[in-house]
Chains A and B, each alone.
Chain A
Amino acid sequence: MNIVAEVLAGSKRAVARAITAVENEYDEAAGIIKQLYPHTGKAHVIGITGSPGTGKSTLTDKLAKEYRRLGKTVGIIAIDPTSPFSGGAILGDRIRMNELTLDEGVFIRSMGTRGSLGGLSRKTAEAVKIMDASGKDIIFIETVGVGQSEVDVIKAADTTIVVLVPGLGDDIQAIKAGILEIADIFAINKADRDGVERLNTEIEMMLDLNQAMVDWRPPVKRTVASKGEGITELIAAVGDHVDHLHQSGHLTVRRTERTRNELLALLDEQIGRYVLKNITSGGQFDALVASVQNREQDPYSVVANLLRQMLR
């Protein structure tokens, strides 16, 4: 059996190998995705994002267990940062998910960001497709610990849960513009700590000011993931959001937008690769660099000429 057939049959080893192929951009990667693509689009993709240390991994672990109890199969993509200096990474999210390792209905993959800046890894979307085609019902994307503007998760997820914790004081101010806007659901984790009421009120007040949410107001749910508290309520909120996505037609809108973005990104990537291979690799390009450097030509004219040559 080839790798595509094995992925479709749910083989974990095949899924693992396919993800490696796309992540390392092996020659066979495009062929794998091409053949798997007709089998994707069935899973519900849940993004879990929030600052470092808010408990994203523990929450993901508990949510996954609850979905398993409900009879769903689960894929998890756990992303941690790649070092900009060595290119290496410590991927440690599995530490919180060890009880899921031997569950036949769960597949977990850790990914390094490998230069991606939006909170995801470069090939997150492809990994989602592979898990989706392998038959996973629910796929979690756990982002890196984010700051203010790493919001790529909404491009990949159907439902985005933003995880906050009490006691970070004015941090709520800092997230007002950035990750506040991407939440479909807020989870206040570590809700047994002081300051939970204040945080809850602050989120609700900000939501009151948001005019864009005409038909879905993100619910605010409290959890203590380490004790398993609030998990069923959070899953109920996801269920409400799924219903809303279907009834309002927003699921189609989101997925159309995603497909459009994917096509643009792929086009961008392939054009970039073509340029690297055909234009910048020869000695002629170095001569152009020198001519711009010496003010004999300006960069805009050089690029316009190159484009004309390329598109001829």
Chain B
Amino acid sequence: MEKRIRVLVAKPGLDGHDRGAKVVARALRDAGFEVIYTGLRQTPEQIVEAALQEDVNVVALSLLSGAHNHLFPRVVEMCKQKGMDDVLIVGGGVIPDADIPGLKAAGVAAVFTPGTPTSNIAEFIKANVK
């Protein structure tokens, strides 16, 4: 059996809107991925622990609250602490262009902002998953 890409789609922090995360989850399912969705208002600790137990290849973070500069790097950092260096971490949501270089420097592999075709996300993951 071929390896199947497993993705955790997670909503960190205090943000009650998951329409976008659900659309992305559905698109990734249709791209043939196994998508674990854990629901709203997750702490970075919960996200990283779920990613560890599910042994995912990718953590996809969705955030609309503006706290991305704090929460995304925190998830990257905690993954590293747990030895999960091989997990690809991507982010999406309402994220100002000016913040994207900083997030990438912090270890977020890609940031997908509103208007991104969902197929781009699936292709990026396929091309970059370890």
Q: Which residues of A contact B (CB under 8 A)?
A: 12-13, 15-17, 19-20, 24-25, 82-83, 86-92, 94-95, 98, 101-102, 107-110, 112, 114
Q: Are the C-beta atoms of B4 and A87 separated by less than 8 Å?
A: yes
Q: Which 3 residue pairs are nearest across A and B when measured between Cβ atoms?
A: A95-B39, A88-B29, A16-B55
- Bound: A15/B54 CA distance, A: 10
- Which residue of B is nearest A112, CB measured? B34
Q: A16-B55, A88-B31 are in contact. Are A110 and B46 (CB under 8 A)?
A: no
Q: Are the C-beta atoms of A91 and B34 separated by less than 8 Å?
A: yes
Task: Please give 16 more A-B residue pairs, beta carbons under 8 A apart, in addition to A82-B34, A89-B35.
Answer: A13-B83, A19-B55, A24-B3, A24-B4, A25-B1, A83-B29, A88-B28, A90-B26, A91-B54, A92-B36, A94-B37, A94-B39, A95-B38, A110-B36, A110-B54, A114-B4
Across the interface, which residues of A come within 8 angstroms of B82, CB to CB?
Answer: 13
Across the interface, which residues of A come within 8 angstroms of B33, CB to CB?
Answer: 88
Across the interface, which residues of B come within 8 angstroms of A86, CB to CB?
Answer: 29-32
Q: Is B118 part of the contact surface with A, judged by Cβ < 8 Å?
A: no
Q: In angstroms, how far is the closest chain B Cβ from the Cβ of A112?
A: 5
Q: Are the C-beta atoms of B45 and A102 separated by less than 8 Å?
A: yes
- Bound: A25/B49 CA distance, A: 24
- Bound: A88/B82 CA distance, A: 27
- Bound: A89/B30 CA distance, A: 8
- Bound: A11/B26 CA distance, A: 32
The one of B2, B30, B31, B53 that contacts A107, using a Cβ cutoff of 8 Å: B53
Q: In angstroms, how far is the closest chain B Cβ from the Cβ of A103?
A: 9
Across the interface, which residues of B come within 8 angstroms of A92, CB to CB?
Answer: 36-37, 39
Q: Are the C-beta atoms of B49 and A90 separated by less than 8 Å?
A: no
Q: Which residues of B contact A (CB under 8 A)?
A: 1-4, 6, 25-26, 28-39, 42, 45-46, 49-50, 52-55, 82-84
Q: Are the C-beta atoms of B53 and A16 separated by less than 8 Å?
A: yes
Q: Are the C-beta atoms of B39 and A88 separated by less than 8 Å?
A: no
Across the interface, which residues of B come within 8 angstroms of A82, CB to CB?
Answer: 34
Q: Are the C-beta atoms of B34 and A101 separated by less than 8 Å?
A: no
Secondary structure of the B side of the interface?
mixed
Looking at B50, B53, B82, the one whose CB has the most chain A CB atoms below 10 A away is: B53
Q: Are the C-beta atoms of A20 and B55 separated by less than 8 Å?
A: yes
- Bound: A92/B35 CA distance, A: 8
Looking at B28, B33, B38, the one whose CB has the most chain A CB atoms below 10 A away is: B38
Across the interface, which residues of A come within 8 angstroms of B31, CB to CB?
Answer: 86, 88
- Bound: A13/B83 CA distance, A: 9
- Bound: A20/B83 CA distance, A: 17
- Which residue of B is nearest A24, CB measured? B3
The one of B1, B39, B49 that contacts A24, using a Cβ cutoff of 8 Å: B1
Across the interface, which residues of B come within 8 angstroms of A110, CB to CB?
Answer: 34, 36, 54
- Which residue of B is nearest A94, CB measured? B38
Q: A83-B29, A86-B30, A108-B53 are in contact. Are A91 and B36 (CB under 8 A)?
A: yes
Q: Are the C-beta atoms of A98 and B46 separated by less than 8 Å?
A: yes
- Which residue of A is nearest B83, CB measured? A13
Q: Are the C-beta atoms of B4 and A90 separated by less than 8 Å?
A: no
Across the interface, which residues of A come within 8 angstroms of B37, CB to CB?
Answer: 90-92, 94-95
Q: Are the C-beta atoms of A12 and B53 separated by less than 8 Å?
A: yes
10 sampled A-B residue pairs with Cβ under 8 A: A24-B1, A25-B1, A86-B31, A86-B32, A88-B31, A90-B29, A91-B34, A95-B38, A95-B39, A98-B42
Looking at B1, B29, B32, B36, the one whose CB has the most chain A CB atoms below 10 A away is: B36
Looking at B2, B6, B82, the one whose CB has the most chain A CB atoms below 10 A away is: B6
Q: Are the C-beta atoms of B54 and A16 separated by less than 8 Å?
A: yes
- Bound: A90/B33 CA distance, A: 8
- Which residue of B is nearest A110, CB measured? B36
Across the interface, which residues of A come within 8 angstroms of B46, CB to CB?
Answer: 98, 101-102
